[in-house]
Structures are given as C-alpha cells and as structure tokens.
Chains A and B, each alone.
Chain A
C-alpha cells in the first residue's frame, strides 16, 4: 500500500481545525486556528501552514462543521458531512465500544448515542447558549479569569453552589447573586460547571438511555472541571480522547477515506496552492420573486465557481453535481 494522506477539516464558528491522517487512520498533524468570522481565510491559513510541513500528495479531503458547504465549494472536497456523524465516526474509531458521546463546542453541543459502533440516536442544541463553550468564555471573562484556569479552579471547590438558569442571561444573574452572597470563587466556578452539565443532560439527554463508556470531546473537554462534573452526575468514568479538540476533523478525514475507498476516483482537492489564491464571496438579495432569497456567490481568482442560497435553482451552477448528506 503506497503512502496515503487523508485531510479532514472542521470549520466551526469558533475554530477551524485541520488534521492529517495516515493510511491507517493515525493522526499525523493537527492545526487549530480561530475562525474569527472568516472561515475561508482561516482555512487558507491552515493550508498554508501545512504546506511548510512537507505533506505529500493528498488522497482525499473531507469537510465538516457549520461552514462546510462554503469551504467544500472553495477547497474542493471529496466528502461533506455534518458534524454529528463526523464526531460519531471519530469517537468510534478510537473507542469502538463507546456508547455515549458528549460533545461541547463553541456554539453548540451534541449528545450522540452509539450501539455496536453505530449512532442510534442524537440530540443537539443550538438555541440555548447555557450549554456551550461560549457561555464558559463569557463567564470566565466576567470573573476576570482565563478560561483555561476555570477547570483547575473548579477542582478546589469544597461545596459547589447551585446555579439555576435555563439560559445564559439567567444563569449569569444568579451567579452574580451568589457572588454577592459571599460564596468562594472555586465554589462558584464548580457550580457553574455543574449547571452546564446539568443543563446539557436535561436538555439533550431527556428520556435517553445513557450507558458507559462515555466519551467527552470538543473544545470544552479541555476543562477538567466539566469532566469531573460529568463524572459526578453520570456516576461513571468519562474518557477524554487525546485529540478531543479536533475529533470532528478526524471524523471528516475518516469519512473521506471511507468514501474514496468505496468508489476510487481522483481527489477533488484543489491543492495547497489555494492558500495564495484569491477566494472571496459576494452576496445579493435576489429580487426576481417575492421569496427574496439571499444568494451567495463564491469566486476563485475572480471567477465565479459556485452560488447558493436560492430556492429556485436560478443561481446554482457548480453545486448541482454535489449530492449532500
């Protein structure tokens, strides 16, 4: 078997992750870049960085994350998958007997139930921020703490306070209240972690059978306080994978490998040279019919290569040959 290289990209709202897997699915490289509202730019930067790390020819590229459609059109992807499937595949790759996956990212959180290596049920929340990483970021900011320190601080708690709150605004006001009552900082931080975990399990885990082994991944898995809180509430050990922050990208790469091995065709990847080419988007509100769709065009070196956002198909050119799913 000649040497294979699989790329996986996870374009999230907070971070853009890129991983390189070898033919056996082992992680060779990972790159983590803050998206900062510029998904195309961050992917270009990630590719540029990889170019300097002597990567040979790429066998295939998979993309996931909330920006997947845009980046797939720009970069030339062999496979576009939603984050839920990507996370499930990645966790099952490292832990074949996993039964429950908790994923907490910047803007959303997911709970995936697995049986015999296959996802059987899932839940995802995007409405409420009280179960996501940005909520922790905010609160850390309010407490004037770097978010990385929250975890160790939570471990020092002796008596975690009870923080109520369906949404981040209420939780915040309750937290301020607790501070003014004179509770210690570690107790408040630990209470915060417990509140997040409880919200997560109440919102997403409702009526679901949560069985071990538990795998906890996503950016927030770095926070040991949250992990402890999960272990406390679930009453079982919670595994945090080594590459917890880039599991989505790993899943995308694995899925690309699966896809390409099924129907052998050359990769659609446009190459690392993309980093230096000009990619940008233009949008307009189509006034052709009363639907007033917001249409986006993607341009590569000044040439329109794709358009989407319209309901009628008028503007969609390059996208037509791409089956999603």
Chain B
C-alpha cells in the first residue's frame, strides 16, 4: 500500500522518522517532492484565503500526492501537543478536518495523533487502522526505529549550519516548516551560507535555554514553536550575535504575538532585527534586496562599533 507523506509542516522535524516507521510497518511511503510552485498553486487554490502559507502549502502537498502521485492513502500528522501543556496552534488541531475538505472523496487518511495522552512515539499515536492490522510487537519495533531516526535528525539539525570562521554571526528565528523549506524560505540558509555567515537556528539552541523560564513573562508561552523562537532569540542575544532574522509566515497567529515580544527583547539588547514576512506573493527580488541590505548594515555596524 502506497502511503503519501506531505513534505510540509513538521515533516521537517519528524518526516524521516515517519518514513522509517511506515517502511518498517511494511508500507511504501511516498514523500511529495520539495515544495515548488506546483504545490503552492494547488494549495492556494484549495485553502481559505486567510490561512497561513505553510498550511496552504501542506494542502498543496496533500493534493499533489492524491492527484499526481495517486497514492492509496495520505499520512496526516494531527499534532496537537508534542510536549506537555504546549500546543502547536489551532490550525494543527483542525488539520485533518481541513484536509478532508481538500481530498478527493473516499481517499483514506492515516492519522498520527499526538496530544496530552498520546506522546510522540507512543503506540497510541499510531492510527487505529494500522494498529488493528499489525501485531503490536511489529509496531513497537517500528516505533523504536522511528525514534532513533528522529534523534539522528535532531543531531543533524543541531549541528552548525554555517561557516565556522569569525565573520558575521546571524541568528535566524523561524518555524521549522518555513526555515527548512527551501522554496518558502527562498533558500535563506543557503543564501546566508553563501554570504559566509555563521548561522544559528532555533534547533541549535541548547535544551537548557528552551526549558528555562522566560524573564518578564508571568506565565510560560503555551505554543511549542513560539516558545522555542522566544528562547532562541534570548540565547542569540546572550551569545552576542551580530543580528537576528525573523522569518514569519503571513497570517501566522502565534508569530504576531511572539514576534512583538522578541522585537522588544532584541531592542533592549541593541541587536538589529530583520523581519521577513512570507506569503505566496512574496517576490524573490525584494527578498534578496532586503537580505543584502541587512547584511550590509550589520557588517558596517560591526566594523565601526567593533
């Protein structure tokens, strides 16, 4: 049975592990190709106008798998909580139901449900359709393999992605599905690397920082990704980066809140911040110009202020 995995949203964290899991269960995973204009167009046409770009792109990948790859079922991660008491966002919670409106009638969905009771690599996270068919032992083995692949992916993401020289050091804050999707991020990481910049990403932020209480807030932020961004920004500030780039998707709810808090903290530290907003209409020329100008500004600032 060919099961399509959309290369979008948290695929960029867990995707390899899902693939290994499905493979170990005896399915044939089919991953959609990296985001391109095709998927964006399919998604934009299917999803409500106001929804954020990453979700539209997810819909595009789903449609691509269903309509072009003609898979037998689509794997839809329904990740409400991937850590205790923190949510991703409401759109992740409603994802399967929004996908249903897009899928051709009768196309089955295989869910991967993470919430308060069903932890990341627990048996309960696996869709009942698989659980009923396969022996429990086989699923357990597949899951432990998946967990191992996931931890390798984390190590890979946490390794320095930029040049190691003593040039510029730029911290990038963004959700993984914006940052690691070359089309959505307009290859921001590649561009920075090409400019010989040392890059820090939220995935390189030490766990200690991610779990620490955020000063000045009465209560912990209740979004997993928003909290990571906040913590990463504070970590970058502590590391004395030369500048921070905030890559956000148009229409992202948590970013409008976290972005404001981050901007205020960075301003207090006197660290320049470039906010880049992504939507399906973002032009590449404007993006490149802004990035170049920002790097110039940071370089000049560094050379004159030491």
Determine if chain A interacts with chain B: yes
* Chain A residues within 8 Å of B, Cβ to Cβ: 164-166, 170, 173-174, 177, 202-203, 206-207
Cβ contact within 8 Å between A166 and B44: no
Set B46, B101, B283: member contacting A164, Cβ < 8 A? B283
Q: Is the interface of A mostly helix, strand, loop or mixed?
A: helix
* 21 A-B residue pairs with CB within 8 Å: A164-B280, A164-B281, A164-B283, A165-B281, A166-B279, A166-B281, A170-B281, A170-B283, A173-B283, A173-B286, A174-B283, A177-B283, A177-B285, A202-B44, A202-B49, A203-B49, A206-B45, A206-B48, A206-B49, A207-B46, A207-B101
Interface residues of B (CB under 8 A from A): 44-46, 48-49, 101, 279-281, 283, 285-286
| Minimal beta-carbon separation of B287 from chain A (angstroms) | 12
Chain B residue at minimal CB-CB distance from A201: B45
Q: Which residue of B lies closest to A174 (CB)?
A: B283
Nearest B residue to A170 via CB reads: B281
CB distance from B3 to the nearest CB of A (A): 27
Taking CB as reference atom, which chain B residue is nearest A125?
Answer: B49
CA distance A165 to B280 in the complex (A): 9
When distances are taken between beta carbons in the complex, the residues of chain A under 8 Å from B283 are: 164, 170, 173-174, 177
Q: How far is the CA of A182 from the CA of B283 in the complex (A)?
A: 18
* Chain B residues whose CB sits within 8 angstroms of the CB of A206 once the complex forms: 45, 48-49
Beyond A165-B281, A177-B285, A207-B101, 8 additional pairs, beta carbon < 8 A:
A164-B283, A166-B281, A170-B283, A173-B283, A173-B286, A174-B283, A206-B48, A206-B49
Q: B279: which A residues are within 8 A, CB to CB?
A: 166
- Chain B residues contacting A203 (CB-CB under 8 Å) are 49
Closest Cβ of chain A to B36, distance in Å, is 14
Contacts of B285 in A (CB 8 A): 177
B201 to chain A, nearest CB (A): 28
CB distance from A210 to the nearest CB of B (A): 12
Least distance between B241 CB and chain A CB atoms (Å): 31
Give CA–CA (A177, B286) in the complex, Å: 10
> How far apart sit A173 and B283, CA to CA, in the bound complex (Å)?
10
